[in-house]
Amino acid sequence: MEITKSQLNQFDQVGFFKMDRVISRKGFQEIRERMEDITQGRIQYPGMSFQLDGSSKAYDSVPRGGGFQGPSDNYRKIQGWEKDPVFLKYMQHKIFRDLTQKLIGDKVSIYRAMFMNKPPQSGTNLPYHQDGGAGWGLSSYLANQFVTVWTAIDNAYVESGCIQVVPGSHKLGLLSDQGHTITEEQVKEYASEEKSAYLEAQMGEIFVLHNFLLHKSGINQTNKPRRGFSVCYMDGTITRVNTSEDTGVINPNYEFPIMFGENAMKAAV
């Protein structure tokens, strides 16, 4: 199992590509069950961060994150999944080793391992943004030092708020110094509906995303959750220069977890 030239070409040309599920059905079921264990508090790890969904579907109304806030199906974002051995094993899958070696290099860390949920008939509109820029509090944010792997935990459709992207927009570079959301004028100029594509996925399928690719996601109008697991791999030499909500880093002594290469994390047995 390895990343092909054609996938890398697609990544270069349009800023993303899709992959089939990389683990067995049984292994994927274990991931889904473990996700439930964590959202319901049956398993807890110190240092994971939890943010509940807001009540108004508006991005600026989501509450601040914190520690575990009780069993809930309404978490919008949870970070710190590398602390869990089932998730760590997935994140260190040899296909992601191959991907990151080809795109980044030998020593690879993550700046976040994140669950993003659109609860049934709910969820928050996430506006168009790029995953990079000074606001992320990282010592570097060059394009070739990052790649995001987004896995569908549930089927993700247009109606359930799947990710929407502007193919090729990674070539625009960072549209804001700070990174993250773009202005309404930039949306008009670069991200009209006609230019966009919806990334629908069956559970287990994966999208590999360039961090400068403009992407957003809507609300969930179905009766089933739309959960995604997003891992942002980066060059392992990058350090933290600031705290940042986006990376979930609030501890000033935080060191990014190494996934591959020297000092890579090992799952506790």
Ligand X SMILES: O=C(O)CCC(=O)C(=O)O
Q: Looking at beta carbons only, is 210 or 240 nearer to ligand X?
A: 210
Q: Which is nearer to ligand X, 233 or 260 (CB)?
A: 233
192-251: contacts with ligand X (CB under 6 A)? 215, 217, 228, 230
Output 97 or 118, the one with its CB closest to ligand X.
Answer: 118
Site for ligand X in 125-144 (CB under 6 A): 126, 131
Q: 106, 131, 102: which is closest to 116 by C-alpha?
A: 131
Under a CB-based contact definition with an 8 Å cutoff, are residues 89 and 266 in contact? no
What is the rounded radius of gyration, in angstroms, for the C-alpha atoms of the chain?
Answer: 17
Token duo for residue 267: 């799952």
Is residue 181 involved in binding ligand X (CB under 6 A)?
no
Query: Closer to ligand X at the Cβ: 82 or 131?
Result: 131
Nearest 5°: the CA angle 67, 68, 72 is: 145
Q: Are 132 and 141 in contact (CB under 8 A)?
A: yes
Of 79, 148, 160, 220, the residue at the interface with ligand X (CB under 6 A) is 148
Residues 77-106 that bind ligand X (CB under 6 A): none
Taken as a whole, the chain contains a residue count of 269
Q: Which is nearer to ligand X, 42 or 197 (CB)?
A: 197
3-state helix, strand, coil in the chain (%, to 5): 25, 25, 50
For residue 116, state whether it binds ligand X (rule: CB under 6 A): yes
Q: Does 163 bind ligand X (CB under 6 A)?
A: yes
Whole-angstrom distance, CA of residue 56 vs CA of residue 125: 9
Distance in Å, CB of 162 to ligand X, minimum: 8
Positions that interact with ligand X (CB under 6 A): 116, 126, 131, 148, 150, 163, 215, 217, 228, 230
